[in-house]
Amino acid sequence: MSTLRQSFTDLWQALRQPRDETLLELGADGEVLLARLRLVIASLLMLLPAINYVAGGSGFESLAGLAGIGVAVLLSQVWLTVARRRRRYPWLPYASAGFDVTVVTMVLLILAFNEPSAGLNSMVVWGCYPLAVLATALRNDVRVTLFAGLLAVVQFLGVSAWFQLATVGPIMSVDYGTVHLSSQLQRAMLLLATTLITMLIVFRMQRLVQLSGTDGLTGLPNRSYLNHRVPRILSDARVVGDTLCLALLDLDFFKRINDEMGHQAGDRALLHVVEVLRLELRRDEPMLRVGGEEFVVLLRQPLGAAWERMDGLRRKLEAVPFLPGDGAEARRITVSCGVSCCPGDAIDVSGLMRTADLRLRAAKQGGRNRVVARDPG
């Protein structure tokens, strides 16, 4: 059970670490969802100025709100168009979160220039700041949440300080009361608290995603990654005309290790294989564990080059002996491998896995410890 201190320590580490591909993909989907939500909410908010005017509110206040919401609707459509593009823009979450916060600030400024107390004491408009911070949770990135929260605090305090310093005497009105420094600081503290809580929520979501998509023994992505992330990788590769190969590996005679030396030795053998192969794999060659002793490697290469790459990995693993421990003799671990290619063999995960599995079986039947990338003739 994690303590509060440990949670904050983990949160700080999450701020410093690069995000993995699964979280980036979820964040991109969240950005599209938020863009649609922003457009719907902005359209609904068009009713607020009319309600305010009918209820006896200031005509200027209603026009200011209408202008601000109108700009938000137009720009929300722009953000939605950008977010829908297949290409991921690293700056997009920060820019759109900054937009959400700044729109609120602009409306407060318009109100404050007409009536300072309206801009500084308007709870309806100010309440959009916490909404903008909470909405960043859909982006699944604690950095974006922190950015939006700090930006809201800085902008709000900046507006408040400007008008309080520029106004002689107390700022007050019949409708909005007196502006007190203490109440302005309290709102800033509420924004900071909202930011912190949202960051912790996002961090918890990230941990759950990572746990659900990671193999507990090896730390590799698991079948969830294969089912949810790899289809998007294949789709992106087809869009730009790239070739992507899927290699399915299976350890040879792995059952003998479990039967003769026990399951703990079997686990150590799996870790040995992962350690050797990961040292050889590049950053753009993800390795997944999809079964007991089955692994998948994705290669952004043509089929022939992918065969050469996997055969080199096979020979490297064969050359590094496995040390079971407890005085047992070193053993040689080998793998058989089947390789399929997108788009040549299939264009989806199931088709690639089916073809790779057939070629893996051919490798097993051909004597094991080999890579097969063509169908038997």
Domain ranges of the chain: 4-212, 223-372
pLDDT mean over 224-249: 86
* Mean pLDDT of all residues in 51-62: 68
Q: Which helix (H) or strand (E) holds 364?
A: helix 349-365
Residue 86, phi then psi, degrees to nearest 5: -65, -30
Q: Is residue 22's pLDDT more than 70? A: no
**Section 251-255 average pLDDT:** 92
One-letter amino acid for residue 59 of the chain:
G
**Are the C-beta atoms of 144 and 195 separated by less than 8 Å?**
no
Instruction: List, by residue number, the catalytic residues.
Output: 293
Helices 181-212 and 128-135, axial angle in degrees (round to 10): 20
Q: Residue 86 has what pLDDT? A: 53
Amino acid 210: pLDDT: 67
User: Which comes out higher in pLDDT, residue 119 or 4?
Assistant: 119
Rounded Cα gap, residues 362 and 344, in angstroms? 19
* pLDDT surpasses 80 at 63: no
Give residue 157's pLDDT.
Answer: 93
The Cβ of residue 158 has, within 10 Å, a number of other Cβ atoms equal to: 12
| Residues 300 and 235 sit within 8 Å (Cβ to Cβ) | no
- Residue 96 vs residue 176, higher pLDDT: 96
- Looking at residue 106, its pLDDT comes to 87
pLDDT surpasses 60 at 27:
no
pLDDT in tens, 349-376: 999 999 999 999 999 999 999 999 988 7
Check whether 108 has a pLDDT greater than 70: yes
Question: In angstroms, how far is the first alpha carbon of the chain from the final one?
Answer: 58
Q: Is-contact 11 206, C-beta < 8 A?
A: no
Q: Mean pLDDT over all residues of the chain?
A: 83
Long-range own/partner contacts, residues 209-218 (CB < 8 A, 24 or more apart):
209/22, 209/23, 209/26, 209/140, 210/20, 210/22, 210/23, 213/22, 215/289, 217/267, 217/270, 217/271, 217/289, 218/270, 218/271, 218/274, 218/289
SS3 at position 149: helix
Q: Which of 192, 213, 215, 211 is nearest to 203 (CA)?
A: 211
Cβ–Cβ contacts within 10 Å for residue 297, how many? Answer: 21
Q: What is the mean pLDDT of residues 151-166?
A: 90
Which stretch, 101-110, 204-213, 301-310, has highest mean pLDDT?
A: 301-310
pLDDT of residue 99: 86
Residue 149: pLDDT over 80: yes
3-state secondary structure 265-306: HHHHHHHHHHHHHHHHCCCCCCEEECCCCEEEEEECCCHHHH
| pLDDT above 60: residue 272 | yes
Q: Look at phi and psi of residue 295 and say left if phi exceeds 0, alpha if psi is from -120 to 50, else beta.
A: beta
- Type and span of the H or E element at 339: strand 335-342
Residue range 15-22: average pLDDT? 62
Q: Does the structure show a pLDDT above 70 at 80? A: no
- Domain 223-372 in this protein, CATH class: alpha beta
Strand segments, DSSP code E, in 118-236 are 172-173, 177-178
- Contact of 315 with 349, CB cutoff 8 Å: no
Residues above pLDDT 70, as percent of the chain:
81
Q: pLDDT at residue 53 above 70?
A: no
- What does the pLDDT read at residue 1? 45
SS3 call for 242: coil
Across residues 142-146, what is the average pLDDT? 89
